[in-house]
Structure 1
Amino acid sequence: MTIVSVLEQPMAKDRHTYSITGGVPLEGSITASGAKNAVTKQLVAGLLTDQPCVLHKVPRIVEVDLVLGMLAELGTEVTWLGEHSVRVHTPEVRETSLSAMYSGVNRIPILMMGPLLHRRGETIVPLPGGCTIGKRPIDFHLEGLRQMGADIAEHPTSVKVHVDRLAGAHIDLPFPSVGATENLLLAAVRAFGTTVISNAAVEPEIVDLILMLQKMGALITIDTDRTITVEGVRELRGVEHTTIADRIEIASFAAAAIATDGRIEVRGARQEHLVTYLNTLRHIGGDFAETRDGLEFWRARPLTATDVETGVHPGFMTDWQQPLTVLLTQATGTSVVHETIYEDRFGYTEQLSAMGASVELTTRCLGAVACRFHGRDFQHTAKISGPRRLHGADLVIPDLRAGFGYVLAALVADGTSTITGTRYLERGYEQPVAKLAAVGAHITTQSV
């Protein structure tokens, strides 16, 4: 049995520095990893039962190591059954709180509230953190749990929650928050009575979590109007489940193929998870085709500008916009990218401008409709003029999704770029250097 442990300050240092020489068309095949945004929540769902749960297609990334470390601290037995299969078994929850080292690391501890309340009736969890991309408050999460009967005390660095047993409630989310929807699902499946979540998020990763919970014995339905209904059950059983492929990684390599005028097949890619993204690629000049094992991406014509507005599923995913923004620097004309999910997600463009990109940020809503940031002092719209010839530079990654954007910028730039801050990229992308090298990227690493 292999118990995963996490060292003190697990996200404090880079493991590698990347050196990338651009100007090479990327060609070849890679296999998509399991979705980070699905598997991390599915590992937490394992806390809902005292029986073993086995997950397949688990990516070997920093974020998974962090979650497994948290679970081990609570009493979970973690056993790797193969390179990408793991068993989590929590016959007894020994601890109801996590150590301070997890404060501000990511948002996973907040999602443990429901399972820990069902198993022990109380918990203290650290406040969330993760990438610096804008405020990600948890008020929707806490209000929903309060409606289900939880007694919540908020502290500067943690939240203390207590309940005899959670009860079903009708919860109307002000915004279809992915995290709040996941949190309420994990709380509702073993609550007494029926919970109705209105205006819920319905991303593929949430549907995949629901499929796992249903296999465990949960009763969950999804209506066409973003309403999720959960009939609570007393107990859940163990499960074996295969996580869906990571649509963010797939989109990243699709952008790389088109930006470098190459051709990449991504095995495991599923068209139904990428419909909006694929339409956008075609507007720009990219194209795709289904293969026996996945999807193949290439540039079909000279790239032209387009307008994009991020939104909740089935809209254009906010985590797709960073590689896309880099791709648009190579398109003829002026493109507009209107970010409606996070108010501070364009900070990475300053370093792109230093490479030669033309990116202008504005507080104006330049999308089809005014978003929730309208009239507020947030630079949440980018105007990208192109094509611009980029040149190599020393880049420092500020957050996970900007990380692949910088990698892509280095791949299309003249000369060689050095990239630090790679710990952010490696928390969400499995073996990024090996996969890039497999499709012909001129990339080397140096351990630090």
Structure 2
Amino acid sequence: MGLHSDTITIRGGRPLTGRIELKGAKNLVTKAMVASLLGETPSILKDVPDISDVRVVRGLLEVHGVKISDGEEEGELHLDPSAVETAHMADIDAHAGSSRIPILFCGPLLHRLGEAFIPDLGGCRIGDRPIDFHLDVLRTFGAVVEKLPSGIRMSAPGGLKGAKIELPYPSVGATEQVLLTAVRAAGITELRGSAIEPEIMDLINILQKMGAVISVDTDRVIRIEGVPELKGYDHRALFDRNEAASWAAAALATEGDIFVGGARQSEMLTFLNVYRKVGGGFDIHEDGIRFFHPGKPLNPVIIETDVHPGFMTDWQQPLVVALTKAEGVSIVHETVYENRFGFVDALVEMGATIQIHRECLGGQACRFGQRNFNHSAVISGPSKLHGADIVVPDLRGGFSHLIAALSAEGTSRVSNVGIISRGYEKFLSKLETLGADFTLEG
């Protein structure tokens, strides 16, 4: 089922039951596609989801001369970078839209072409994601950065050289930027304070397949020995743990039973611990994980989001919906993005009892403390949610609104659902498979 309308009507109160299949992680696949620019030979990427973020990156690669074709199996891409060329700013702008992915093209393009252009960048409105740090990293490698009215132009007249970099915070995007730039920079790059998410490690696996020399220490230090040339890769992408957690929360909130094919225990360890504390049931199988409501009251919990191996920020939004059903008071302290609780306004309108606070609640003081960011939530339950008109604000918040509407009594009209297709492949077809009662407008 395709997304022909941006608004759907959901008749809630029906448990979601059945099996759905995951493809590769949005947060890995798009970066793996960019990595193909570094190779001298074609790459093959498998389990690529059909989501709008992938289509954006595909368009950006194609305007830079990368030939992309579909392979034999569903979700298989062949990427041939042999004819990479400079793209026009207008073409980059047209394909990028609100995506921030173009910033990650810069290192590979500087290696291949000696120059790169990026437009003004957008993204989900969940907090500050400045590109200045990315630009500083590129300068450290030797890039010359010029800010123009139409965007940013970069050049590397002397080539890029290895550098010592320390991140003030283990940013996933900044770590990806360093990896994609350092692998072909002359000399050794040492990155301290790096992110070590499973998607980062899978990107490192891909780069090693291409010929890169990368070591990862236990103290968040990554060392990259630059090499003069890389080849293409053949890789099956890591599954999307964010989507897995979202369907797990949906099973809990709707009192359902969902088998998430392709999900693995090792990358979900922290989530599974919290899920069990809430009272959710799960069974681990070789080909996926079954998530189900236990048939008894759910427990309140205290959660503090953190970088890996902590509880992911992308997991808290769908789980908050399930916590409105728990008996007692739950606390969620968000320490990764400062403005990630905008989605709760719709839940309150639907009958949830949620209070947002500026203070650091439920854990240690974090970098957002005393800075007037509403980054802690207190959820009192159980609440009976009722249908409402909802406008989706961002990707994870949007899926959380879907879960709320599916678990609520009555009818909800959810608009701006196109945002959800940025990270959830064929989510309407999956909802249909799981027995959801909804109709598309138009």
TM over 0.5: yes
In the alignment, structure 1 residue 171 sits paired with structure 2 residue 165: yes
SS at 2:441's partner residue?
Answer: strand
Q: Name which of 81, 94, 102 aligns with 1:109.
A: 102
Cα shift at 1:165:
1.2
Structural mapping, 1:131-170, within 5 Å: 131-155=124-148, 158-163=151-156, 164-170=158-164
Distance 1:123 1:83 in 2: 32
Distance 1:197 1:24 in 2: 49
> Are 1:104 and 1:127, in contact at CA under 8 Å, matched by a contact in 2?
no
Q: What's the RMSD between the two structures over aligned residues?
A: 1.5
Distance 1:155 1:353 in 2: 44
Aligned partner letter, 1:19: T
Distance 1:239 1:33 in 2: 18
Structural mapping, 1:251-330, within 5 Å: 251-300=245-294, 301-330=296-325
Distance 1:348 1:426 in 2: 17
Other-structure match for 2:48? 58
Other-structure match for 1:78? 68
SS at 2:229's partner residue?
Answer: coil
Cα shift at 1:188:
0.3
Other-structure match for 2:84? 93
Distance 2:412 2:319 in 1: 19
Aligned partner letter, 1:241: H
> Are 1:361 and 1:381, in contact at CA under 8 Å, matched by a contact in 2?
yes
Q: Name which of 199, 208, 216 aligns with 2:210.
A: 216
> Are 2:37 and 2:81, in contact at CA under 8 Å, matched by a contact in 1?
yes
> Are 2:252 and 2:280, in contact at CA under 8 Å, matched by a contact in 1?
yes
Other-structure match for 1:205? 199
Cα shift at 1:28:
1.2
Q: Name which of 226, 236, 242 aligns with 1:248.
A: 242
Cα deviations by residue, 1:171-211 (Å, 9 ceiling, x for unpaired)? 00000000000011000000001111100001111111111
Cα shift at 1:23:
1.1
Aligned partner letter, 1:288: F
Unpaired runs of 5+ residues, structure 1, are 1-12
SS at 2:129's partner residue?
Answer: coil
Aligned partner letter, 1:202: I
Q: Name which of 127, 139, 143 aligns with 2:120.
A: 127
Aligned partner letter, 1:50: E
Cα shift at 1:155:
4.0
Aligned partner letter, 2:122: G
Q: Name which of 38, 57, 71 aligns with 1:67.
A: 57
> Are 2:35 and 2:180, in contact at CA under 8 Å, matched by a contact in 1?
yes
Distance 2:217 2:286 in 1: 32
Q: Name which of 8, 14, 19 aligns with 1:29.
A: 19
> Are 2:50 and 2:75, in contact at CA under 8 Å, matched by a contact in 1?
yes
Distance 2:13 2:5 in 1: 26
Unpaired runs of 5+ residues, structure 2, are none
Distance 2:317 2:149 in 1: 32
Aligned partner letter, 1:325: V
Distance 1:57 1:446 in 2: 30
Distance 2:439 2:218 in 1: 47
Other-structure match for 1:8? none
In the alignment, structure 1 residue 337 sits paired with structure 2 residue 332: yes
SS at 1:127's partner residue?
Answer: coil
> Are 1:51 and 1:91, in contact at CA under 8 Å, matched by a contact in 2?
yes
Structural mapping, 1:398-413, within 5 Å: 398-413=393-408
> Are 1:14 and 1:423, in contact at CA under 8 Å, matched by a contact in 2?
no
Aligned partner letter, 2:217: D
In the alignment, structure 1 residue 39 sits paired with structure 2 residue 34: no
SS at 1:165's partner residue?
Answer: coil
> Are 1:103 and 1:157, in contact at CA under 8 Å, matched by a contact in 2?
no
Q: Percent same amino acid among aligned pairs? A: 50
Distance 2:16 2:119 in 1: 42
Distance 1:310 1:27, change over 3 A: same
Other-structure match for 1:226? 220
Cα shift at 1:92:
2.2
In the alignment, structure 1 residue 422 sits paired with structure 2 residue 417: yes
> Are 1:103 and 1:127, in contact at CA under 8 Å, matched by a contact in 2?
no
Aligned partner letter, 2:222: I
Aligned length: 435
Aligned partner letter, 1:158: G
> Are 1:433 and 1:443, in contact at CA under 8 Å, matched by a contact in 2?
no
> Are 1:73 and 1:98, in contact at CA under 8 Å, matched by a contact in 2?
no
Other-structure match for 2:7? 17
In the alignment, structure 1 residue 239 sits paired with structure 2 residue 233: yes
Cα shift at 1:443:
2.4
Distance 1:352 1:156 in 2: 41
Cα shift at 1:52:
0.8
Cα shift at 1:153:
2.1
Aligned partner letter, 1:245: F
Cα shift at 1:98:
4.0
> Are 2:9 and 2:439, in contact at CA under 8 Å, matched by a contact in 1?
yes
> Are 1:278 and 1:287, in contact at CA under 8 Å, matched by a contact in 2?
no
Aligned partner letter, 1:140: F
> Are 1:218 and 1:233, in contact at CA under 8 Å, matched by a contact in 2?
yes
SS at 1:116's partner residue?
Answer: helix
Distance 1:123 1:367 in 2: 45
Q: Name which of 359, 374, 389 aligns with 1:379.
A: 374
> Are 2:338 and 2:374, in contact at CA under 8 Å, matched by a contact in 1?
yes
Q: Give the TM-score normalised by structure 1.
A: 0.94
Distance 1:118 1:190, change over 3 A: same
SS at 1:196's partner residue?
Answer: strand
Aligned partner letter, 2:420: L
